[in-house]
A and B are shown apart, each in its own frame.
Chain A
């Protein structure tokens, strides 16, 4: 391998490591210098905008204005002519299996609902079980580790788990080795659209990868909430003769509900935007398409900006409930401050 690129690219390195921070610090020092030249009474009016200005410019330039642009483009064809809702009609017309419907079904039912249930169930189970063993720290780190690596790497890891060979050759994929050991024919996990046409199996295989990756996230947060439950409360329940399961159902779970909801809203956003795992594992083939992947393919393979924008707007509509919930939650917290 060739590390000489590191040497030929020294100007870039300097630019990146010294230049970027220098520009940022230079901006604020320079701007403050100018503010101090202002008359006393004008300073408090100008100064906040110096500090908050760059953030507003970035957020407006890369999030707000483009979002409006996407809305406009979703009403246009490839040449920029206004076509009304034609793009939406193309995407949403072919119910139940044409247009974007496979992607919508997978994004909403498979990913949003099933995936969220799996991540929360595993996270909660682990948080409660791990809390009771002495080596909690170690097992939590191991479960959390997939959070640190990319979904692409997770995808590669699981491609090997799902590896499929025809029945008479040696199975090198872990799952198919297990399946054939149990005297079943090997399964093409990523291609098999069992039950016929519904394609639940291969979509479940994809969710498994993402669940494996994200359970650590929900476990860590739920575990923190669990530790916040006063020990005396559980002790009192035990003294009253409640079994561990009853304690979980009647004491622990209700007290953790607010945290479960917060984790859930975060998961909704993850689930709706999922892209990497389907992209790496099936590229949306075999009825495993999702909205984010469909949008990417419309943009890059079909060069159809209008259609891609329409799919992006569908994505936005799907997260609006979460967005509203977040804002309400935030305002409620602010009101208590």
Chain B
């Protein structure tokens, strides 16, 4: 079910009644429409990409399309100035430090919980699972004020954590973990339930403990589901602006790329030369992940919305 697979062979047949000419015209119009739509979708990104390699004075004096005709005058100046004059270099490190634990923690905890939801019996199991499904739709805004108040009163804020020698992002990790859990648990529990139960039963007869079943049987069988989930959660956290603004927005030196990029957008005004480079710098990781692991990413999205 990825973008990269599944075309139906018989989908191209045109109405039998149509004449050869009408058929040709229809095919032609179809291709024009498809290519036009795709171009319209590409132009915004292309425009900024081209601009980001143009010399500063050119960006201000003429449109990006002028750069596509001779003389071809491209430069990396915007990127190097952006890295020198903004926080973006440190921000990409911060983004990794935010996104990796904020992916590892919820996915692992969700895998534990999904195992229990799918293969163990305990009182209230179905109701608790139902609560997780309900929480999928709850806006995160509903949690910000109390969680922030709690963090501030218990010293789980960047300054204090740094002075204790701890990573300043712990609050953000915990919040992202809580926010990511309903979806992660839902997705994994649905996957685990579809695994054949004889596998576990025979393993248990052979004397395998719960841990062995989990780490040796369930985890290896779930690699596709786990991969989709990891990519989905990682990109979600990497691209998140709001949660980061709420919990570390006041500390620019520990803030991730999105927060810094948004700050640059608001502060640069007319000097948007640096912004062009910064925007693409922030996209490098998502684009690499997307292009190399597209299949899993799309599968995660499909699993998340095509319910049942």
Please state if A55 and B302 are interface contacts (CB–CB under 8 Å). no
Please state if A327 and B109 are interface contacts (CB–CB under 8 Å). no
Selected contact of B63 from candidates A177, A225, A238, A266, CB within 8 Å: A177
- Is B203 positioned at the interface, with any CB of A under 8 Å from its CB? no
Which chain B residue lies CB-closest to A125?
A: B37
B245 smallest CB distance to A (angstroms): 7
Which chain B residue lies CB-closest to A247?
A: B15
Which one of A98-106, A126-134, A187-195 contacts B?
A126-134
Residues of B within 8 A of A (CB): 1, 3-17, 26, 30-31, 33-35, 37-38, 41-45, 47-48, 51, 59-65, 80, 83-84, 89-90, 93, 97, 100-101, 104-106, 108-110, 112-113, 115-117, 120-122, 125-126, 128, 130-149, 167, 173-175, 177-179, 181-182, 185, 209-211, 214, 235, 238-242, 245-246, 249, 257-258, 261-262, 265-266, 272, 275-276, 278-279, 282-283, 286-287, 289-290, 294, 297-298, 301-302, 304-308
Contacts of A13 in B (CB 8 A): 97
Q: Give residues of chain A (8-36) contacting chain B, Cβ–Cβ below 8 Å.
A: 9, 12-13, 15-17, 20-21, 24-25, 28-29, 32, 36
Selected contact of A172 from candidates B60, B133, B307, CB within 8 Å: B60
Chain A to chain B contacts (Cβ below 8 Å), 15 pairs: A5-B90, A9-B93, A52-B122, A70-B145, A132-B11, A142-B42, A146-B45, A148-B289, A149-B287, A153-B283, A276-B258, A308-B144, A308-B145, A326-B133, A330-B133
A132 touching B3 in the complex, CB below 8 Å, given contacts A44-B121, A55-B185:
no
Which chain A residue lies CB-closest to B231?
A: A148
Q: Give residues of chain A (137-151) contacting chain B, Cβ–Cβ below 8 Å.
A: 137, 139-151
Contacts of B93 in A (CB 8 A): 5-6, 9
Number of residues on chain A facing chain B (CB within 8 A) = 133
For the residues of B in contact with A, the DSSP-based class is: helix
For the residues of A in contact with B, the DSSP-based class is: helix
Contacts of B89 in A (CB 8 A): 1-3, 5
Selected contact of B34 from candidates A133, A295, A331, CB within 8 Å: A133
Contacts of B181 in A (CB 8 A): 55, 58-59
Q: How many angstroms from the CA of A69 to the CA of B274 in the assembled complex?
A: 42
A238 touching B279 in the complex, CB below 8 Å, given contacts A149-B239, A160-B47, A262-B306:
no
Please state if A259 and B306 are interface contacts (CB–CB under 8 Å). yes
Q: How many angstroms from the CA of A160 to the CA of B46 in the assembled complex?
A: 11
Which chain B residue lies CB-closest to A235?
A: B10
Contacts of B108 in A (CB 8 A): 21, 24-25
Which one of A88-96, A110-118, A315-323 contacts B?
A315-323
A66 touching B47 in the complex, CB below 8 Å, given contacts A231-B8, A262-B305:
no
Selected contact of B143 from candidates A28, A66, A171, A330, CB within 8 Å: A66
Please state if A59 and B140 are interface contacts (CB–CB under 8 Å). no
Please state if B279 and A70 are interface contacts (CB–CB under 8 Å). no
Contacts of B97 in A (CB 8 A): 12-13, 16
B213 smallest CB distance to A (angstroms): 11
